[in-house]
Amino acid sequence: MTKLFDQMEVLGRIWLEDAPTTPGSEEALRIASDALRFIHSTGQGFDFEDYVQSIDANAPPLAIARFDTRAEAEAWLKAQKRPPNSACILIGDQYFTVLHSRARGWSHLGPLDSLEYYLAEMANEGPPPSGLSFASKAEAEVWLHQQPTPPLQVIIDIAGAPYLAAYHHRIDYRVLYPLPPPTPPSQET
């Protein structure tokens, strides 16, 4: 939580001492400050720090829940007293977005292709292969589930193919994603 308080202090100094002159910057600083105060006052400081750490570690996109079927996800969404107005969930191993409009009284689940972009980024610019190699996906899953603290993401080899062993820390879900082939370098000069 220390980082959060440090950033609140920095925002306060900018506000008082370095008053920015860019149009809209005062409003942006006020909203950023309000957001940090909201995180603190609602007890979400540790969740926020986990979120920032996952971004810094280039972890898989944050999912707030996981369901085996769409029907389970829809039942969960209907049961929420205050559904999230925008969030990501996993149905199986695929990302979906949850959208909710309190003013209009509707909720929606829709597919989201952020996983494909993330896996392409991992294939092109992600961490180097770990050197871990497994003969089968089942063998790799046993290894992944035996890790007391799994890595957020590590590239492994399964029967000659690259996979991303990923850990969705917020929902305590471990998964193996096959990586797409790397994108060839551009031939533009």
∠ CA 121-122-125, nearest 5°, is 70
Residue recorded with tokens 């191993």: 93
Phi/psi at 182 (nearest 5 deg)? -60, 150
- For 10-14, which contacts have Cβ atoms below 8 Å and span 24 or more sequence positions? 11/36
Q: What is the per-residue pLDDT across 30-73, written as a single tens digit (0 to 9) for each?
A: 787 788 888 888 888 888 888 888 888 888 888 999 999 999 99
Share of the chain above pLDDT 70, in %: 85
**Residue type at 58?**
N
Confidence of residue 29 (pLDDT cuts 50, 70, 90): confident
Q: For residue 99, what are its two tokens?
A: 């959208």
Instruction: Give the model's pLDDT for residue 1.
Output: 47
Q: What is the pLDDT of residues 69-95, one digit of tens each?
A: 999 999 999 898 888 888 999 999 999
User: How far apart are the C-alpha atoms of 20 and 138, rounded to whole Å?
Assistant: 56
